[in-house]
Structure formats: C-alpha cells, structure tokens
A and B are shown apart, each in its own frame.
Chain A
Amino acid sequence: MKQNYLAKMLLAFLAVLVWLPALAQTGTITGTVMDTKQQPIIGAAVVVKGTTLGGASDVNGKFRIEGVKPGNVVVQASYLGYRSKTANVTVEAGKTASTIIALEEDVQMLEEAVVIGYGTTQTRDLTGSVTAIPTKSFQQGNFSTPEQMVVGKTPGVRITSNSGAPGAGSTIRIRGGTSLNASNEPLIVLDGVPLEGTGGIAGAGSALSLINPDDIETFTILKDASAAAIYGSRGANGVIIITTKKGKGGDRLRVEVSNGLSVKQVTKTVDMLTADELRAVIEEKGTPGMKTLIAQGTSNTDWQREIYQPGITNNLNIGFSGGIKNLPYRLNFERFDEQGILRTGKLERTGATLNLNPTLLNNRLKVDATARYFNVQNRFADQGAIGGAVTFDPTRPVTIDTGFYNSRYGGYFEWLLPNGNPVLLAPKNPMSVLNQREDVSNVNRFVGNVQLDYNITEVPGLRAVLNLGGDFSNSSGTVFVDSSSAGAYIRRGVNNQYEQQKGSRVMDAYLNYKRDWALHGLDLTGGYSYQYWRTQSPAFPDLSLRGDTISPAAPFPFDEDNALISFYGRAIYKYLDKYLLTATLRADGSSRFNPDGRWGYFPSVAFAWRMMDEDYFRQFKKLSNLKLRLSWGVTGQQDGIANYSYIPNYFRGTPTAQYQFGNGFVPVLRPAGYDANLKWETTMSYNGGIDFGFFNNRLYGTIDLYYKKTSDLLAVIPVAAGTNFSNQVLTNVGEMSNRGAEVSLSWVAIDNKTTNLEFGANVTYNINRIDKLSIIDDPNNPGILTGGIAGGIGNTIQIHSVGFTRAIFYTRTQEYDENGKPIEGKYTDYNGDGIINEKDLVRWKAGPDPTTLFGFYGNGRYKRWNSGFSLRAERGHYIYNNVRSNLGQFRNISGLGYINNIHSDYLNSQFANLQVLSDYYLENANYLRLDNLFIGYNVGQLSKYVNMRVTAMIQNVLVITKYSGIDPEVFGGIDNNIYPRPRVYTVNMNFTF
C-alpha cells in the first residue's frame, strides 16, 4: 500500500513540474486505448505529438492529458506488441476533448520482443548483446537435442555436438568460456526454470536431450555481462533462455501433425591397414609370435563396417492448440525413435507438453502454466566397440561356428590362452562387445512452471510476478553382460543397476514498474529468487550375471544438495527514446561456500544510443537503423565446484578400500583436501556494439567487440607439501581473458509476394589467454600439464601456461629426413644437453580452440517452394590425432597372444614404437561444414480442412578439411575415436487441420 501511495506522489510531483507553466489557457484530452477486440489496453503510452505532454492508460484503458494548448493536435498511443497509432483531436481552452484509439497487434513488432532475464523488452530498447533466434531461423532436421537447431546461427556461440550417438548432447561455449576447471557451460533457462547444469542426468545423454525440440519457440542468447549479470553467479558463461510455444487462443481447434523420417550414413572410418597390408607388414618385419598368429587368420573382416548400421529415426509430433472460452491452450505429444549408427544403440522418447495461459481477474492476472513430461528409454551401445573395431585383427572372422566357441563365447571369435580363457590384455571382439551387452535406462523427467503475472492497477505500470518451477527426474538403468562375453568372462558376466533421483525447485518473485512518459521511460525490476537442488542415488553392488558379488555396495547412498538464494534488481531508463541506460545488480548466496564468503555481488551498467533517432543521421536516406551499445559488468561462476567443498570433510572408504587389523578389516575414514576460502570465479566484461540497418533494413547486422577477464580463476594447483590433505587442491588462483569481435549480417535479397530470399552470415574472432596461474610467479615453471592422451600411462599433450591460450599443445619437435619422413625418436634438442626430455617440450603455435568461427546460411521461397542451407567453418586451431599416434606404430601389433591392426600412418612413419609426444601428430583442424541443406514444398489444401507441407533435408552434407581423422570437429583438440557424426537424410511431412 505504501508503494502505491509513494508512486502516486511521485507521479503527481512530476506532473506538476511539467504542467505548471502551461496551466493557464489550456484544454484537456481524455480517451481510451483499446485493441481491435475492444478490450482495454493497460499501460499504453499516450503523448501529444510535438509537445512533452503525455500519460499512460489505466486499467480500463483510459487516459487523461491536461494542459494541452488549444488547437488541432495529434495524439499518439503506443504499446509493446502493437503498432503505434495516432488520432487527431481538436482542443479548446478550458474544455475536455475525448478520443478512442484502437491499436492493432503488430506481428512484426511482437517478434522483436526479446526475453531478458526476469522480463521482456523490445529489440530497439536493448542495451546489451542479446541475440534472439526465432523458430523460422532454426536448422531443419530431425534433432534429438534442441541446441542443434541453432548451430552456426549466431556469432560468439560455438556448439559442438559431443558425438553422433543418440541424444549425446553438445558442448556449448559462448565467447570462449571463462574457466579452466569450473564449468564453461552457459546457464540454460527454460521458461524461467534454470535447467540442471553440470552433472547431467543418469541414464540420459544430456540435460537438454530430454526437451522436445519441436516445443521451442525461441532461443535467446545473452552474451555480454549487461545482459547476463541479472543471472549473477551463473552468468559468466552466458545465458541461453529458451521459450516454448504457447497456446495462441482463438476458438478454433488447430491440429498440427508432423512426422520426420531419417536414415543415417557413416561418412568416414579410421584409415587402418587392410587385412592384406597387415599381412604384408608382418611378413616383412614381424616377430615369430606375430607370424604364427597372422598365419591363423584367414578372413578379411572390415570391423568398422560390421559395427555400424544405417540408423533409422522417426519423429512424430501431434499438436493441438486453440482456446476454450478464455483459456488458450497448447497440447503436444511427441514420439521420437532413434536408432544409433552403432549397432544396438537406440533412444525412444515419449513426451507430452501442456501449456495453459489464461488471463483472469479482468485482465489483471496473466497465468502461464506449462507442464512437460518425458519418458526416455535408452539402450546404450558400448562405445568401446568403436575403438575395438579400429584395432581388431582384420584377418579374423566375426564368429566361429564350433562347439567350443559357441558354448564358451557365444560363437564370437576371441583371443584365447592355451587353456581356453581370454587373453587379459587382448582386445575383445567388437561385435560381442555390442551384442553381449544390454545397457538400458529408463528416465522420467518433469519440467514445469506456473507464472502468475499480476497487474497492480492501483499503480499504473506496476506488476508483481511470481514464478514457481521445478525440474525433476527419476532414472534407473540396468547393465547386463553375458557370462560368455570375453570381456567379462573371468568375472562371469555383469548384472548391475543404478538409480537416480534429481530435482531442482525454483521460486522467483519480482515486482516490475514500467512507465513511459513523454520524455522519460522507466522500467524497474526488483526480485528475489530461491533455487534448491538435490541429487540422490542409492548404492548398488557390482555383481556377476548370476548375482555373485564382485564388489559390495558402498555403505551409504549418494545424497547431495545445494541452494542458491538471490536478490536482484534492474533499472532501465530511457530519455527521449534515444538514450537508454540499464543498470543491474544481483546478490547471490551459495551454499557451496564458506559463510564468510558466501555472498557475491554482480553489478552491470550499459548504455545505448539510438543514433538513428537523431536528426543528423536521418539525412542518410539509405541508413535505416543505427544504435551504439556500451556495457560493463561482472558475472560469476560456481558450477563445477563440489558441494560442501569448503568444509574439512571426512569421507568413508568403500568396502574394497579397507585395511587389515588382525583378522578383520577396518573401513577407512579420510580427510579431504580443501580450501576453506573457496569463492566465486568472477568475470568482468566489457562490450561495445553497433546495430545497423540499411535500405529499410533489407541489410542489417551488428558488430560487437568484447573483453572478458576472469579473476579468482579456479584451478587445481599443487599446494605446498605438508599443508593440506592432498597434493593438489582446487583454489582461486588465476586470471584468464577472452577478447574478441563478432559480426553478423543479414540480407533480405528479395522479398515480394512470390519470392523471398534471405542470407545471413556471422563471424566470431576470439583470443583466449591465461594471465596468471600460480600464487607465486616462477619463470622456470612452464605451467600445468593437461590433456591426457591414450598411449602409455600418464602422457599429456597440452599445457596451461601463462601468456598462452589455454591447453595449448606442448610437444616434442619431430625431425625429418631428406624425403620428409619423420625420423623415429629424433627430436629437436632445444637445450642442447644431448637428452630429449621434458625440457625439450615446446608450445605449439596454436591451441585446440578455434580463433575464428564462421556461419553462413540462406533461405529462399518461391511460390510454394522453399529451400535453404547452412554452412559453418572454424579456423585457427589444431587437433592432436591420438588415433594415429596411439595406433600407428609397429609395436602396437603386439603379437603377445593376439594381433592388433595398426593405423595406415605406419606406412609413412615406419615408427616401431610409441612416439606420442611428437608434433608429427598435430594437424590443422580448419574446416568448412555444410551442416544442412533442405527443400520444401507447400502442397497447400489437400481438402477443405487439411494443409500439407513436405520437406526433405540432409544434415552434415559435406566437410572440407585437411584433417586426416574422421571428423575435424573435436572439442578439446584431442581426437580419440569419437562416435562418428553421421550424414542424415530426412523427409518431413507436416499436416495442419
């Protein structure tokens, strides 16, 4: 009640100030602002053009403007989402004139409404770097995870699919990522519910993989600190806000049915020796052991063909939308079936989404309630088969039909000892690895929220919003391995299970006051947020197939929780509709930190200048938009920090980690290494940007420059010996920066009734640099080794070094003979001491992260046809080809009871032994990928009620690269046999009723 009174006082005071001089001989205008359905519009801004007079409409849509000079004036009413409209009014001194202004919904404008944290604004009013990607710009295809729909669509965002496995998810980096050890994943907010970040859900590929891509209306990406700072401690890596489709109202029931059918194809396999090449190599150089074994192998098996299949995907969506009286609704059912290209793998998702968004209490209360439920049934193919198929001896058959093999090993060929047991270190038959393992999971997930948006009409422009949401999942899974599987032969199979319950609850409550006056505009938001997470998982023993205990269950279940409490505020001030100032502040308290350092404060300020509205710029007729944006802000990062880690915790060991006292075994209790003063990583960001448009916005775009500096960087560093309960502890020690530029450009080449042709392009340039990594600087310390590789135990290929990009490659310099062949074991001896050791390791010229990203896409429509493509490129980075380095030498053939195939690179290098630290294995990772190509035809009305559209598309059409491995897109820069990304052919049919 007090606020109501205060606000009125303030308003009255302002009114007096403005109107006082004009009070003498003036008239008054009253009127009503309504929409085309004769419903009042509340809070519309009404101004008398050419004056500074104005006001806002009240709960009944009524407004009153006093002190208007007599004469014919033009009154303009405007409201978000509606086209501004004017009315001519004749004012007489001392009298009251009245008018009715009916606003039409502006579809174009609506699309430009942009969600920002805890509210929406219009594109024109944005001060930060925010990109909204609407449905029409999504990539076309059958996707199991929704983020794949926006790959390459916006600068500054790198989305790398983790693999080609069903539901595998992606790694998302916005402007390079700000952390070394904590999370670099952006915060994802689905209809106001922050989704589970790190950790993922047991039995599901990724957290986003359970969201139906078809439900999504827009992705909005908050890139700079001004935009993301409202999310405080979780905003450092940017924020992706996903809004979903809502019921649109109207009486008519609309039904939409779409079905997509896809077939996948493996495009490339690892270039290993063929059976005959392997025979020749062994013939020439093999040990007696190898020769004996190879002589027994008479088959020619291409294991990399055996393990793959053309995976079929089918995606059916049935959506109903409409309104029952005043209750708009949308109900969607989904069924998604995906077969992996790796045999036995599949994902089946069944989901339903219900959205209701009624307006109640005389339009004062807007309710937006969404419930989504998904059930996912996975069967995970054992991805070990991919590496197995690469190395398994091609001279051996898949199966051997003898009584012995049939009874002992399910008929599969395996490497055996004379006594018939499997050879311990030998690879296992990849087909038995796939077929003799059944690893299934069943995941149920519910994500829902109710948002109540109440218009407090006592104070025009004041709203109270309450959002209650939750994200709950319940997963379980079982793993069975036949006791005749060679990999589990000694332990007699596997019969294991797991379960997990995971939940997060969020409550947000905020007040928003938004008022536009003639000269000034104010949008104030202040709120409170509470979020609580809990993960529980019971302990199960490790069992053989028939139930014998291999190792007993842990004595306690897993059960951890954490909470985040926040207060936040935002003020947006607009002057003359040209100068925009936004300031935000968020205070976050996290249960993960010591009570003394638990609260973090994250401010931001941004300024924007709509230069186009200056008279000076209006003279440039070809220019249609020009806006300058500047921002500064601080965001934080707490993901990736373990719960309770500031406490000097003691943990109990497992039953297999006991110690013998006398005749018994005593469970152990261990203190964990800890840093009591662990705190947030904080990232300070600067952003400058220009938005521009030419030729009536037929050509438009943005340019942004940014600099982000993370301090109190969390790094695992060695602690002084004797001072802690581990040799390395996670602590706040370093500094790292990202600086870069982003440009995006869109061009509407043709736009008329029959034809539309649009292109978009974007470029991102990002340079990452580690500025500090230890408490005490030591020039002799090269940095923190990272990037563990296959090949030997304990080898690393990268280093975090001050002054360099993170995880830069750190290798020996290979020397070559006159024919350009690498000389085995010969490396540049940089310090000339005659020994090649760690002192002769040097940093490569590039790291694993691309410095430049390109996206280019186009969409066209001609009459009933439409078509489009999407291209993407990355450059400036390298890949360590660990497949080649680990498998491309003679010694890998082994001959100790089994034969391995080796990489065909051996034919070039002739390396006898592992040379994994050689820069010979670093390869340029630049690539250009044609992600997507589609063509669609709108069949139109099939009958009176049915419309039909057909679209055909290809995903992952083409990759142009010098990289010799399967796929140059390897997050982290170490290529180690990923699940290949297939090419996907899809036909999609869409019916509307």
Chain B
Amino acid sequence: MKKISFKAIIALLGTSFLLTACLKDLDRSPKYGLNAATVYSDPNNYINVLAKLYAGYSITGNQGPAGDPDISGIDEGFSAYVRVLWNLQELPTDEAVCGWDDPGIPELNFMTWNSVSPFVVAMYNRIFYQIPLCNEFLRYSTDEWMNSKGFSEADKARIRGYANEARFIRALSYYHAMDLFGNVPFVTEENKPGAALPQQISRLELFNFIEAELKAIEGNMQAPRFEYGRADKAAVQALLAKLYLNAEVYTGTPRYSDCITYSNLVIASGYSLEPDYKHLFLADNHTSPEIIFPITYDGMNTRTYGGTTFLVHAAISDSMRPYSQFGTNGGWNGLRTTRALYDKFAADTSDERNTFWTRGHTLDISRVAGRPFEGYGITKWRNVRRDGGPGNDPTRNFVDTDFPMFRLADIYLTYAEATVRGGAGGDAAQALNYVNQLRNRADIAPEAGPLTLDKILDERARELYWEGHRRTDLIRHGKFTGGSYVWPWKGGDSSGVSVPDYLKIYPLPAADLVANPNLRQNTGY
C-alpha cells in the first residue's frame, strides 16, 4: 500500500511535468504579428511596408493620430517629419514665428539652437528612422531573396518597382539630411540592424550618393502620376533639379546647367498650374494638376497632430473666427508671420497669394511668446474643400489637406533661377515667362524683366511661403546668416541682427555623438 501510493505520487508529479514541462513552451511569438522573415515571405505584404515608408513622412506612428510612436523622447505630434521639417525651414526665417514657448521653439525663432534642441533632434531622428526602414525593405527586395521565396515574375516586377520608390524615399531623406545637417552617419542596405556603428559621410560625398541613386532609378520609375501619392519619374527629376539648384551650397561646384536639364524634364511631364492659387492648399488639393509629389493626409484614415493638421490649426488664432472658414474646431494660437513677408506683398496687395489675416492682429511683434495676436496670421493652409465644405473628420480635428513637397511653380522658379545664375540651356525669356505665369495666376502685373536673383527670391517668398523652402532659399542667396538681410526677431532681436555662418547647418544631436563615436560635430557647435 505504501509503495503504491508513493508510486502514485511520483506518477502524478511526472505527469504534470510532462503536461507542462515542455521547454518549447518558451518559444512564443505574437499571434497577430509578423517578423522580418514572415513579412517578406508573402509578396502581398510588401505594399504595406511601402505604405509605411511613405507614411513615415506623414504620420508619427502605427496608431493615428498618436499612441504608438515611431520615435520616442519627444511629444509624438511635435516630432512629425513634415512638421519638424517645416519648423526647421520656416521658423528661423522671415516667413514665420511660433508663439509657444515649449522647449525647442524659441531656439528656432531666435536661431539659438544647439545639439540638444528638441526639434533639431527630432528632425534628425525622423530622417534616420526613414533610412533604416528603406534599407530593410531593400534587403528583402533583392532578386536573390525573391527567388529564394519563389515569388512569381509578376510579383517580382511589382516589388522591384516598390524598391525603386524605397530608394527615392531614402534619397529624399538623405537630401534633407544633407541640406539640414551636412555631414551625417551613412548607412545603406549593406548595414544590418545592430551591426557596426555607421561611419560619417561628408556633405560632398552624400551629394554624390544622392545624385547617383536618383540617376540610377530615374529610368525605372513609373510614368508621372501613375498613382497619386507615390513617387514617380517626375518626382525623381524634381528632386534632382532641386539638388542641382543648391549644388554650389552643398559641394562648392555649381550645377545650374544640370538643374535646367532636369527642370525641363519635369516641366514636360504633363503638370499644369492650378488655376486658383488658393486651391493648392485645401482639403481636396489631391485633385490639383500642379502637385508633383505630395505627402498625403486624411482626416479619417491618415491622422496626425503633425503635418497639415499642425499647419492649419497652429496658424489659427482666437481672432480668426469663424473657424468654419478653416474647416476646424478651433485654433492653436501658434504660428504668425513677420513684417518682412508682409512687405514683400506691399507692391501689390491685391496679389491672390496674399493670405494675411489682419483683423485683431498687429503687424509688428513686440514679444514672440504668448502674444498670439502680434504678427499677422496666415490663412494659406485650410481644411475646407473647393466647394467650401469641411474635410472628412466629423470632429474637425484632423485635416485632409495634402502637403506638396514638390509642385510645378517651384520648378518654374527653379528653372528661372538656374537660368539667371547662368546655367547652360536656360532661356531668359522662358524664365521670365514662367515667373509671369505665376504672377498672372496671382492676378498681378507681369514682371517686365530682366529677372534678378533678388526678384526671384522675393517671388519665391510670395509664391512658396510657408511651404518649407525658405531656409534653403535664403542660404542659397547668402541671406540666411550674416547681416546683409535681417528681419524681425532674426537672432532674437525684435528688429533683427546678424548671426554667424555656422548656423547654416544644424548640429548633430549630442545623443548621437555619444552613441556613435565615429561622428564629429559640425563646426561651430
């Protein structure tokens, strides 16, 4: 009896052991998730990853508008790619100030940023979020991988097309890196996650890489506007045109002739000016014939607190009633402009591109922070349709308006500027014609000519203000730093002061210098 019960206990223990002891129980994987191996085993998943590569510009994480961020250490909406790009390109210029005193904003208004300024860090982190994602996608889009998975020829062809788009997205982010930060860490699909620390690439070498990449994919890209929202051949050519326009800044060597060549290619791609300038920035601007490459937003499906949701809301002050004219539920009392931009419209205030809001506001800004009615408002970005109705989101929080990264008017002015700067193949009369097409659309008198660089810079201000180009333009014209051109609050002074040249590129974040000893800080920081 004793022995039997003893055996019974051992047997019971043994059984429970077997039932549960299986050490394989420790191998667990997400029930609804995928990992690198499984995602890329199914050709149908590729388009979803591609969508993420694009969405990395638009939204901030996997949960719209917020809650599952791509990058951390900063408020999610604050860190959205287009929002920080816009802040870095506009707030230190004559076109905009932001009246919030959240960390990072005063530094941009007053050009006192440093290597820990939150928006500088956020821009860098967004860029280097996009690039490894593209690299990963490219690692799994090789013929070798696809053959090993037995994809059909049709799938392989489709995915090769996606891979070209991924290379464009990577080149665009590297272009932003080169323009904003100069000398940055460099990784391609050869650098696997967690492997050796990246090496630093010089601005010149990075220029060459971007140029080579864009030229390599140019011929394989799909025809212009093959599908809205996606990068096509014209997007690649537009980026090349912008690259060459600024080549002298990046490399010391002018490339205005190449700029003209690629501007012409874009212009010949079938785009046309949007007849009404104001329609370019509305909730249904995806129907515009002028937009070459948009970053898209949708009040229901693509939600963020960055991007155009920010551009529309932050520009609205409490004086700018009724909110229904903007298709929102209110305003954030943040962005305004300076007298310098207003003065560029002084010659002809009937210019249709004039979107200043003056009621309840003053023209001059006695203090930037906390005075939402000092400085005129800008009503360019709105969440209403051409027919006047609001965007899709019934709560009016999230806007539908897309952000035109490249549009035809910019390329017209690019052509004109490269021509004035003496690029081969440019025609002065054609350049003037392009400028006057824009002025004609704006319902103002044509420019008699001859065009000068100053005239083109001012025309760019009137045409492209608040679209994220201004800092690059001022640098190219030698007016961003130094004292040759000052505007209210440049350098933190209410009437503007000279600032040192090292501010033409932003510093690398201190955190990355700690994490990667291969990096050297940009001069001056």
Contacts and interface: CB of A to CB of B under 8 A. Distances in A.
* Main SS class of interface, A: loop
Interface stretch (A327-335, A436-444, A659-667, A984-992): A659-667
Interface stretch (A43-51, A646-654, A759-767): A646-654
Contacts of A726: 70-72, 129
B60 to A, nearest CB: 9
A727 B118 contact: no
Contact of B187 (A425, A551, A675, A723): A723
Contact of A666 (B48, B107, B511): B48
Contact of B512 (A557, A565, A721, A835): A721
Interface stretch (A126-134, A195-203, A452-460): A452-460
Contact of A507 (B16, B131, B185, B516): B16
Contact of B329 (A490, A509, A663): A490
B193 interface: yes
B511 A718 contact: yes
Contacts of A660: 228-229, 286, 296, 298, 301-302
Contacts of B298: 658, 660, 665
A300 interface: no
A417 interface: yes
A860 B183 CA distance: 75
Given A723-B191, A792-B100, A794-B118, A507 B20 contact: yes
A724 interface: yes
B321 interface: yes
Contacts of B322: 417-419
A71 interface: no
Contacts of A795: 102-103
Given A464-B13, A726-B129, A835-B112, A659 B302 contact: yes
Nearest to A530: B20
Nearest to B61: A657
B390 to A, nearest CB: 12
Nearest to B50: A666
B125 A652 contact: no
Nearest to B137: A671
Interface string A755-787: 000000000000000000011101011000000
A913 interface: yes
Contacts of B229: 659-662
Contacts of B38: 650
A173 B512 CA distance: 34
Nearest to B40: A650
Contact of A792 (B35, B103, B323): B103
Given A589-B26, A657-B62, A658-B302, A559 B32 contact: yes
Contact of B510 (A530, A669, A721, A780): A780
Interface stretch (A590-598, A851-859, A971-979): A590-598
Interface string B305-349: 000000000000010011100000111110000000000000000
A256 interface: no
A456 B12 CA distance: 14
Contacts of B512: 718, 720-721
Contacts of A647: 29-30, 35
Nearest to A421: B329
A82 interface: no
A653 B38 CA distance: 17
A421 B329 CA distance: 9
B45 interface: yes
B194 to A, nearest CB: 6
Interface in A534-554: 548, 550-551
A725 interface: yes
A717 B193 contact: no
B27 interface: yes
B223 interface: no
Contact of B301 (A507, A562, A591, A656): A656
A649 B35 contact: yes
A590 B129 contact: no
Given A589-B26, A591-B25, A794-B102, A669 B16 contact: no
B517 interface: yes
Nearest to A457: B2
Contacts of B404: none
A434 interface: no
Given A565-B23, A721-B125, A896-B372, A913 B28 contact: no
Interface in B40-75: 45, 47-52, 54-55, 58-59, 61-65, 68, 70-75
B75 A562 contact: no
B197 A723 contact: yes
A661 B45 contact: no
A598 B27 CA distance: 10
B370 A891 contact: yes
B34 A778 contact: no
Contacts of A774: 514-515
B395 A491 contact: yes
Interface in B210-261: 227-230
B33 interface: yes
Contacts of B175: none
B63 A654 contact: yes
A423 interface: yes
Interface string B3-23: 101110110110011001101
A822 interface: no
Contacts of A565: 21, 23, 25-26
Contacts of B187: 722-723
B302 A657 contact: yes
Contacts of A722: 128, 131-132, 185-187, 191, 198
Interface in B262-295: 286
B194 A676 contact: yes
Interface string A479-495: 00000000000110000
Nearest to A464: B9
Nearest to A897: B318
Contacts of B74: 794
B202 to A, nearest CB: 16
A466 B62 contact: no
Contacts of B33: 644, 649-651
A666 B228 CA distance: 13
B396 interface: yes
B39 interface: yes
Given A589-B26, A720-B516, A721-B125, A727 B73 contact: yes
Given A725-B133, A728-B73, A649 B34 contact: yes
Nearest to B126: A727
A896 B318 contact: yes
Contacts of A665: 298, 301-302
B335 to A, nearest CB: 15
B309 to A, nearest CB: 12
B2 A458 contact: yes
Contacts of A794: 74-75, 78, 102-104, 118
28 contacts: A418-B321, A458-B6, A464-B10, A464-B13, A468-B16, A550-B394, A562-B28, A565-B21, A595-B27, A644-B30, A644-B33, A648-B35, A651-B62, A658-B301, A660-B301, A662-B227, A662-B229, A669-B52, A718-B73, A719-B515, A724-B194, A780-B510, A781-B514, A793-B103, A795-B103, A837-B107, A837-B112, A914-B101
Interface of B: 2-3, 5-7, 9-10, 12-13, 16-17, 20-21, 23, 25-36, 38-39, 45, 47-52, 54-55, 58-59, 61-65, 68, 70-75, 78, 100-104, 107, 112, 114, 116, 118, 124-125, 128-129, 131-133, 136, 184-187, 191, 193-195, 197-198, 227-230, 286, 296, 298, 300-303, 318, 321-323, 329-333, 369-370, 372, 394-396, 509-517
Given A668-B51, A670-B70, A727-B128, 16 more contacts: A491-B395, A530-B20, A550-B394, A550-B395, A556-B32, A589-B23, A591-B28, A648-B35, A649-B33, A653-B61, A657-B302, A659-B55, A659-B229, A667-B48, A670-B49, A839-B114
A-B CB proximity, top 4 nearest: A424-B330, A656-B64, A669-B48, A721-B128
